[in-house]
């Protein structure tokens, strides 16, 4: 069982930056794809923000390309999301997720509880 805990959310003005962290525990043998998702309003579908696989290959949603950066510290089992040039439309609950496998196929079976990010204009 993989346990994920997010931190680093908060409130910031437009143009500001935040860095989210996701600490993972309970790993067994094998590789994982890690991702950040967000839900912008209750009842809306979670949107993929960024993913990173075991070879550090990354993928971003078009809406965050050039502003957000996903990275990971494999030894510490922490995944980061550096968010720069934040916009009010980035306001959402951000979730960390894990998928078993060396590459990201979109089958994320493990989720954190989420952390709120609020960007004011």
Cβ atoms < 10 Å from Cβ of 55:
10
- pLDDT for 77-116, tens place per residue? 899 999 999 999 999 999 999 998 888 998 999 999 999 9
Q: What is the dihedral of CA 83, 36, 40, 2, to 10 degrees?
A: -140
Predicted local confidence at residue 103, as pLDDT: 86
| Residue among 21, 20, 11, 17 at smallest CA distance from 86 | 17
CA Rg, the chain, in Å? 14
Write down the pLDDT at residue 76: 82
How many whole angstroms from its chain centre is CA 70? 7
Q: pLDDT tens digit string along 59-72?
A: 999 999 999 999 99
């Amino acid at each position: 069982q993989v346990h994920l805990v997010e931190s680093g959310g908060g409130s910031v003005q437009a143009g500001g930056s935040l860095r989210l962290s996701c600490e993972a525990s309970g790993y067994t043998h094998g590789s994982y794809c890690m991702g950040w998702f967000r839900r912008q309003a209750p009842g809306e579908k979670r949107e993929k923000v960024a993913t990173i696989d075991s070879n550090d290959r990354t993928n971003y949603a078009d809406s965050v390309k050039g502003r957000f950066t996903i990275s990971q510290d494999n030894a510490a089992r922490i995944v980061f999301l550096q968010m720069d040039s934040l916009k009010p439309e980035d306001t959402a609950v951000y979730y960390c997720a894990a998928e078993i496998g060396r590459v990201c196929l979109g089958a994320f079976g493990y989720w954190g509880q989420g952390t709120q990010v609020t960007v004011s204009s």
